Structure 1
Amino acid sequence: MDVISVRRWLADGLLAAVLLVFGLVTTRFAAQNQPGATPLDTVSDVLIAVAAAALAVRRRWPVVTLAVVTAATTAYLNGDYAYGSIMFCFLVAVYTVAAELPLRPAAVFAGAALVAVSVHAFVPFDGDPGIAGLAPAAAWVVVPFAVGATVRLSREATARARLDAARRIADDERLRVAQEVHDVVGHGLAAINMQAEIALHLLHRKPEQTEAALTAISRTSKQGLDELRATLVAVRRGYDRTPMPGLGQLPALRERLADAGLPVFLTIDGTPPEVLPGVVDLAAYRIVQEALTNVLRHAGAANAEVTIRYGTETVELEVTDTGIGGAPSHHGTGIAGMRERATALGGELTAGPLPGRGFRVHAVLPVAGS
């Protein structure tokens, strides 16, 4: 039995005990104001005790609890005892059924309970029916039933909201994983593809230079696999436990791209903060990585220049190249992924061709509050 179940049992047991003592004590005061009622005796005390004790299992067996409390209350009322605290037990039982069961079966059980406790209004059967007694009996059913049904609907709405939130978080996590894998694998495969083309081109003309291209392929694939493995470990454990790529690894990225045939010039403007938020550092690195991967894929023979500008509240990234330029493709996900990374942090990203030749990716990421 878990902690929540234990707490519920204890709470219901305490409620039953309180209503038992309350019923036995206060009913005697109520009887003093109802001189026409049957004097309280052992039978009345037993009925009050049974109704109160049944509430100890009200959330475990709500229908059984309502049946026992209704039977005890009906017998009590038909005995013409004074109206008293036993009605609070009946109220709690009706509320519990409405709060714990679906609306339709709860309404059926509550209706049956109403019929049962209303019998006393027609006793004795050879006399005039006490129609006036139906209104109080109905109130003891309708009011707690309405409250219980409202509580149940509110609880279900809260559960649905939590489920929807969990689904959104899971969807966001899947998109994040997909973006990470896309950036890692896409970059590595683009570099390997470029080196493979170089190797095929040199295979017959300059076979002695093919070894360098194959070595670069081997090195790039190993680095890509290591980074993919680190990314998947980070996804399983969380970013706080596994170091993720950041702007400090741009020199290594530049070397890998140089091996793949893309010269990259790196410029740092300003002083990096002592501690750059991890999400900003990772997003900045991935944006630069994806931008350079696009240069490698689409720009043809080109050089690239990366400029990092550190401000007091932002990090500014600019990647330009001297390639063929042109409008970005609408079929790829690279630019869209970069823009999503930027906007998720409250920043912005623009990408487009430069006048004449070349392409430019520019992003501004806020540092404060990340």
Structure 2
Amino acid sequence: MFRPLKPFQLSMDIAAAVVFFALTGLLQFPANGSFSGWGVVVSLAMAGALAVRRLSPTLALGIAWAGAILQMAMGLNPMPSNLAILAVLYVTAAYGSRVVFWLGFASSLVGALVITLYLFLATAFLSTGLNLESLSVAAATWIAATFALLLSWTVGALVRTALRARENRAAQEVAEADAAAEQERVRIARDMHDVVAHSLAVVIAQADGARYAAASDPEAATTALGTISTTARAALADVRLLLTQLRHSQSEGPQPTLADLEGLYAQVRAAGVGLQVEVDPVPMGEPPASVQLAVFRILQEALTNAMRHGDGGPVSVSLSWLPDRVELVVRNAAHGSQSTEPFAGDPVARGHGLIGMRERAQLVGGRLEAGPEAGAFVVRATLPIGAT
């Protein structure tokens, strides 16, 4: 019924209505000094409709109809205050509810017909009767009135469409911003998982190995502590970088590349894992940065899973850099819970590791499968890189 308006908007509407009534009310005093009291009342009603037109288009339309009906009931001629009807029809189309929107449209058509009947047909019928000339004038009046009233309503409808388009555009921008923020949070969470899980797996393996080897080989404990320190410092640097990106979403830090794979292999071997790496064929040229990052993160997670869930046996890594794609295979002997890990297509896949690897592959348009295979756990990924 009532729309929220700012105080200055309502004040402007009331002030405009007061000025409108003052001007149209003075016109009710013709030069001969006669006074039309009902004309002043009609002018007051039209000014009232003008005052509340934006606050309540429904109320404004009702007041305008009441003033028009009173004007016709008193047999008054058209007055300047009737111009307020155009403003009322405009707001019904621009700001009214769906029902008021169509009530304004109907009022335009019905109002034009009522004006024509009141001004010409009823007068002609009571005086000279209907003839061709009066009918022609009535038709012209009906067309002119319909055009004027519908024009005001149509302008309001166009404004309504523009306002809705602006609201939809603003909502779309908000939705896109939320989606981008969510995507960034997911990316950072995935990176955090990859960094922390891998580093902790290396630290745990080194700590366990050092605890059992310290009794027979004190140097082993010193070496393990050095590896733990190096791994922890690298993980801390990566976590600080991710937290910086989280605070400042526009800052982009350096991402791992193929050159960092040797450091990853060294960490795994230092944890006591027999790692075998085969690269055939080698990459021709520089692969896209997104593919390099995906390969690094998938290998990092796959090797972390091998250290955590494998039986301690050797782990093999195979990389094939073909002209249009890279094929990655990580194989380790299955043990414990890993032997029951679901396949890639299983909708009940547990944990975040496999999910993260699949997301990494999908982000660059590739695919990844993981699952038990002939007593081993195998991760296979195919990532497109385009022709070199």
TM-score exceeds 0.5: yes
Report the Cα offset of residue 215 of structure 1. 1.8
Structure 1 unaligned blocks of 5 or more? 1-61, 71-76, 81-85
Given the alignment of the two structures, is residue 363 of structure 1 paired with residue 381 of structure 2, yes or no? Answer: yes
Instruction: Tell me the equivalent position of 2:162.
Output: 151
Map Cα deviations across residues 165-219 of structure 1 (whole Å, 9 max, x no partner): 2222221111111101000111111111111222333355544532222222111
Aligned CA distance change for structure 1 residues 246 and 166 (closer, same or farther; 3 Å): same
Instruction: Tell me the equivalent position of 1:139.
Output: 150
Given the alignment of the two structures, is residue 352 of structure 1 paired with residue 352 of structure 2, yes or no? Answer: no
Instruction: Tell me the equivalent position of 1:277.
Output: 288
Alpha-carbon distance in structure 2 between the residues aligned to 1:95 and 1:300: 78
Given the alignment of the two structures, is residue 257 of structure 1 paired with residue 268 of structure 2, yes or no? Answer: yes
Alpha-carbon distance in structure 1 between the residues aligned to 2:352 and 2:176: 26
For 2:339, what is the secondary structure of its paired residue?
Answer: coil
Aligned CA distance change for structure 1 residues 352 and 146 (closer, same or farther; 3 Å): same
Alpha-carbon distance in structure 2 between the residues aligned to 1:103 and 1:327: 60
Report the Cα offset of residue 233 of structure 1. 4.2
Give the TM-score taking structure 1 as reference length. 0.64
- State which structure, 1 or 2, has the greater radius of gyration over its C-alpha atoms: 2
Given the alignment of the two structures, is residue 267 of structure 1 paired with residue 278 of structure 2, yes or no? Answer: yes
Instruction: Tell me the equivalent position of 1:211.
Output: 222
Aligned CA distance change for structure 1 residues 96 and 251 (closer, same or farther; 3 Å): farther
Aligned CA distance change for structure 1 residues 96 and 151 (closer, same or farther; 3 Å): farther
Report the Cα offset of residue 158 of structure 1. 2.8
Instruction: Tell me the equivalent position of 1:16.
Output: none
Alpha-carbon distance in structure 1 between the residues aligned to 2:339 and 2:188: 30
Aligned CA distance change for structure 1 residues 194 and 106 (closer, same or farther; 3 Å): farther
Give the TM-score taking structure 2 as reference length. 0.62
Instruction: Tell me the equivalent position of 2:340.
Output: 327
Map Cα deviations across residues 110-147 of structure 1 (whole Å, 9 max, x no partner): 89x98xx99998789xx79x994753443123222222
Aligned CA distance change for structure 1 residues 211 and 169 (closer, same or farther; 3 Å): same
Alpha-carbon distance in structure 2 between the residues aligned to 1:305 and 1:95: 75
Report the Cα offset of residue 79 of structure 1. 5.7
Alpha-carbon distance in structure 2 between the residues aligned to 1:155 and 1:106: 21
1:296 counterpart (307, 321, 326): 307
Instruction: Tell me the equivalent position of 1:57.
Output: none
Report the Cα offset of residue 275 of structure 1. 2.6
Matches within 5 A, 1:1-370: 78=79, 101=95, 103=97, 132=142, 135-204=146-215, 206-233=217-244, 236=248, 241-324=252-335, 326-328=339-341, 330-356=349-375, 358-368=376-386
For 1:216, what is the secondary structure of its paired residue?
Answer: helix
Aligned CA distance change for structure 1 residues 218 and 151 (closer, same or farther; 3 Å): same
1:282 aligned partner, one-letter code: L
2:321 aligned partner, one-letter code: Y
Alpha-carbon distance in structure 2 between the residues aligned to 1:233 and 1:275: 28
Alpha-carbon distance in structure 1 between the residues aligned to 2:177 and 2:323: 36
Alpha-carbon distance in structure 1 between the residues aligned to 2:356 and 2:156: 52
Further displaced range: 149-158 or 228-237: 228-237
Further displaced range: 265-274 or 333-342: 265-274
Alpha-carbon distance in structure 1 between the residues aligned to 2:241 and 2:180: 22
Q: Percent identity?
A: 31
2:339 aligned partner, one-letter code: G
Report the Cα offset of residue 268 of structure 1. 1.4
Map Cα deviations across residues 195-251 of structure 1 (whole Å, 9 max, x no partner): 122233335554453222222211110111122233444564657x53210222111
Report the Cα offset of residue 164 of structure 1. 2.1
Aligned CA distance change for structure 1 residues 149 and 180 (closer, same or farther; 3 Å): same
For 2:329, what is the secondary structure of its paired residue?
Answer: strand
Determine if contact 2:92/2:153 at 8 Å carries over to the other structure: no
Aligned CA distance change for structure 1 residues 213 and 97 (closer, same or farther; 3 Å): farther
1:335 aligned partner, one-letter code: L
Map Cα deviations across residues 253-310 of structure 1 (whole Å, 9 max, x no partner): 0111111122222221123242321111111110010000000110031211111111
Report the Cα offset of residue 351 of structure 1. 0.9
For 1:326, what is the secondary structure of its paired residue?
Answer: helix
Structure 2 unaligned blocks of 5 or more? 1-52, 65-77, 125-137, 343-348
Alpha-carbon distance in structure 2 between the residues aligned to 1:156 and 1:205: 74
Determine if contact 2:93/2:153 at 8 Å carries over to the other structure: no
Alpha-carbon distance in structure 1 between the residues aligned to 2:166 and 2:223: 66
